[in-house]
Amino acid sequence: MTGFNFETTPRIVCEQGGSGRLGELARGLGVRHFFIITDQPLLQAGLLAPALESLRAAGIAATVYSDVLPDPPEERVLAAVLAAREAGADGVVGFGGGSSMDTAKLVALLARTPAALHDIYGIGLAQGPRLPLVQVPTTAGTGSEVTPIAIVTTPTSEKKGVVSPMLYPDFALLDSHLTLGLPPRLTAMTGIDAMVHAIEAFTSRHKKNPVSDALALKALALLYANQRKVLEDPRNGTAREHMLLGSLLAGMAFANAPVAAVHALAYPLGGHFHVPHGLSNALVLRPVLRFNLEHAAPLYAQLGEAIGTARPGQGPIEGARAFVDAMAALVAVMPFEQNLRSVGVDRSDLPMLAEDALKVQRLLVNNPRDVALADALALYEEAF
């Protein structure tokens, strides 16, 4: 075993109904005024009400900012930073999916530190300090509550990331009650997204380590076992909690053993065609798994053991094939689009997508198999 470094969010609270104790849980941060970042559908659904009431009971003021968009554009992030400053907030809460939590990370940083957003894209360029930060996920997908990464869409439709330990929140609060009303399509997309995190962390060529491996295996086992359950019975609180926990564990894993080709190919789909991130991952997952199979066979076989597809006496290749087949079968029955043409991609767009995917070398270098331009184009062709 080689040496490794593992970092994560220092405090995690997992409690059904726990968002109703946000004020009590946040007292130790010394915040007098939280800037809460969410989106309009969550605000209109009333999911924030218990959290806001708990903050009032704790004597903590709150300003709600609900103008977050999917794949947050630079200008929307900067508008949120300005709003947080104008509100005089001294703490930030990300309440929602990955877009809200990624925006919250950057607001907590940039409302406190005089840095330009375009100057901190990359790894380790964001130095801080930042405002106190709490993350409350409302989907079981991104794991953003335990990652040091915020993804932004630039004016040229590129996805760029700010990566820094400064972006870990002070604590993450998992409340499965917030996910009970998720529609089936969103439940399916976010669940597959979390599984991709676990799969790619476990097979990453760089920074893979025993801690991330254990988390990835447990995450995938939880997610695979409960994905169909939450679609068949959306009010199953225990299954929803297992999905949230699986998403968090997968986030902890890929924050330390980074993701690879699935994400690299997914990013241009979000940037150019505004395909939701989880769906983008799902659309290219099957081709990438098949592309990697022989190079990642022993690892895929282990993932198969975690989800129960392994059979006695199987060799690595057979075990890997069984795993890839099981994941393909799961994606095939999910209630979302199944190919690129169904989300507005034309065959003539594929070369452009391939070229853009090759720019995401920070992720492609982690893939078990090298990806050339011709490979990327062939993968998009297979997903088309």
Task: Provide CATH code, domain 184-383.
Answer: 1.20.1090.10
The ranges assigned to domains in the chain are 12-179, 184-383
Cβ burial of 86 (10 Å; 0-12, 13-18, 19+) is exposed
> Block means of pLDDT (10 residues each) for the chain, length 384 residues?
88 96 94 97 94 97 95 94 96 96 97 92 91 97 95 88 95 96 95 98 96 98 98 95 97 97 96 93 98 97 95 91 98 97 97 96 96 98 98
The phi and psi torsions of 232 (rounded to 5 degrees) equal: -75, -35
In this structure, CATH architecture of domain 12-179 = 3-Layer(aba) Sandwich (3.40)
Q: What distance, in Å, lies between the first and last C-alpha atoms of the chain?
A: 40
Strands 159-163, 149-153: pairing is: antiparallel
Residue 364's CB: how many other CB atoms inside 10 A?
A: 22
Contact, 57 vs 114, CB < 8 A? no
DSSP 8-state code for residue 173: E
Per-residue pLDDT at 1: 63
Mean pLDDT, rounded, of the chain: 95
Q: What pTM was computed for the model? A: 0.94
Q: What whole-number percentage of the chain has pLDDT above 90?
A: 91
